[in-house]
Amino acid sequence: MRRTAEVVIVGGGCMGASLAWHLSQCGLTSVVLVERGAQLASGSTGRNAGGVRHQFSQEANVRLSLESIRAFERFEHEVGVAIDLHQDGYLFLLSNAVAEEEFRSSVALQRRLGVEVDWLTPAEAARLAPGLAVEGVSAATYCARDGICDPVGVTLAYAGAARRAGVVTLTETEVTGVRVRHGRLEGVDTTREPIDAPVVVNAAGPWARNLGRLAGLDVPVDPLRRHIFIARPGAGGTWNDEPHRGRVPSTRIMVIDFETTFYCHREGPGLLFGMGDPAERPGFDTTVRWDFLPDAIEVATRRVPALADAAVSHAWAGLYEMTPDAMPLIGPAPELPGFYLLTGFSGHGFQHCPAAGRVLADLVCGRDAGLDVRPFAPDRFAGRHGGGEHHVV
């Protein structure tokens, strides 16, 4: 048995689901969304911290944020599902002159594009996030419309709305081949059935390079493991209980120590925190490296002293999909007509999925994307290109 479609989307995370819904809004519903896992959002989408922010260093990323956060704010009205959006802000802590200079430039850019972002003293930052220690902090930035959202909820809502419009979703289905004839796409082979289609979208996240190889392409995306830990008071109870109240922020403000990449925010009764490991090398291993926890705790306790006597209740690891310049790949692969990329978001994919899905849907449908997509061009590494994103956490 063979299936036919106008578009095959490979990858059932937030990007693939957003694209499927946006294609349906363009009137294109002969679409198959293929996910190798047992359910959608079972990969990197379901393993991230859920942050959404405007505070990027590159104009193209700020513009994606502006559109995406507006979409999150209207999500329940437009898609019909509540997504647990909490806009308590992002607080970036800066500790040296180089970071301050870089962030002053970024704040000027963000303000020019209409983002309300504040430049704070360390004392002002501490007042925003009770329990925060600011020794060594020289300045901070804060945007109140940044926040936290539910990645799995967003993905399932987009996918559900797309299915109601006629999009087909295939889970537990792995793409095993990309069929090309005379330089043009004919479709994909899967563990379930062949699918004939003139357009294939690589939304495979950390696995994008592997999928590209099936089409004879080198997609410059590498998987990089990142850890998330949940901490609760070591003596038991929650951070809301009287003995512990005020020792960590009571809101869901996202605090980021830019120099170390340590970040934290409230997650229910616990405190979610994470940090990049400079020794981490590309790979697909998502087991938790418990030997990394002491390094993370050492940094964490300098910023949130309450974590010194906390207990880690659980942890998990997910994969960033890194490109050489930490900017995404959005658009057609020039070497293979009909093959599109929607990947490489380098740790900020979920928060950009509404705008990125809309942009690629417009490109697939032959419409004006409404913004300059050159910074996201898949072939930009073949020649000269601008600077990359510096605010990677």
**What are the pLDDT digits (tens) for 209-242?**
999 999 999 999 999 999 999 999 988 889 999 8
pLDDT at 385 over 80: no
Torsion of CA 354, 360, 361, 364, to 10 degrees: -170
Mean pLDDT of 141-161: 97
Sheet containing strand 118-120, strands side by side: 118-120, 139-143, 90-94, 254-257, 262-267, 270-275, 222-233, 310-322
Contact 388, 326 (CB under 8 A): yes
Q: Three-state SS for 132?
A: coil
Instruction: Give the Cα separation of 215 and 180 in Å (integer).
Output: 7
Mean pLDDT of 19-48: 95
Contact 155, 72 (CB under 8 A): no
Torsion of CA 148, 255, 347, 388, to 10 degrees: 120
Of the listed ranges 119-128, 233-242, 250-259, the one predicted with least confidence? 233-242
Instruction: Give the Cα separation of 127 and 116 in Å (integer).
Output: 19
pLDDT at 127 over 60: yes
Residue extents of the structural domains in the chain: 3-50+151-221+324-382, 90-144+224-322
| Structure tokens, 173 | 């289905």
Q: Three-state SS for 243?
A: coil
Cα distance between the two ends of the chain:
45
Contact 50, 350 (CB under 8 A): yes
Of the listed ranges 51-60, 84-93, 166-175, 228-237, the one predicted with least confidence? 228-237
pLDDT at 143 over 80: yes
Q: Which residues pair with 310 in a beta bridge?
A: 233
What is the DSSP annotation of 42-105? Answer: -SGGGGS--EE----SSHHHHHHHHHHHHHHHTHHHHHS-----B---EEEEE-SHHHHHHHHH
Please report the pLDDT score of residue 390 as a whole number: 93
Contact 219, 233 (CB under 8 A): no
Contact 247, 239 (CB under 8 A): yes
Instruction: Give the Cα separation of 365 and 372 in Å (integer).
Output: 17
Please report the pLDDT score of residue 382 as a whole number: 82
Please report the pLDDT score of residue 383 as a whole number: 67
Please report the pLDDT score of residue 339 as a whole number: 98
Q: What is the mean pLDDT of the chain?
A: 95
* pTM score of the predicted model: 0.96
State in words which class domain 3-50+151-221+324-382 has. Answer: alpha beta
Name the CATH code of domain 90-144+224-322 (choices 3.40.50.150, 3.30.2130.10, 3.90.1640.30, 3.30.9.10): 3.30.9.10
Question: What type of residue is 194?
Answer: P
- Tell me how crowded residue 129 is: count the other CB atoms within 10 A of its CB: 26
Contact 358, 24 (CB under 8 A): no
| 315: Cα separation from own chain's centroid | 19
pLDDT at 356 over 80: yes
Pairing assessment for the beta strands 262-267 and 175-181 based on DSSP bridges: unpaired
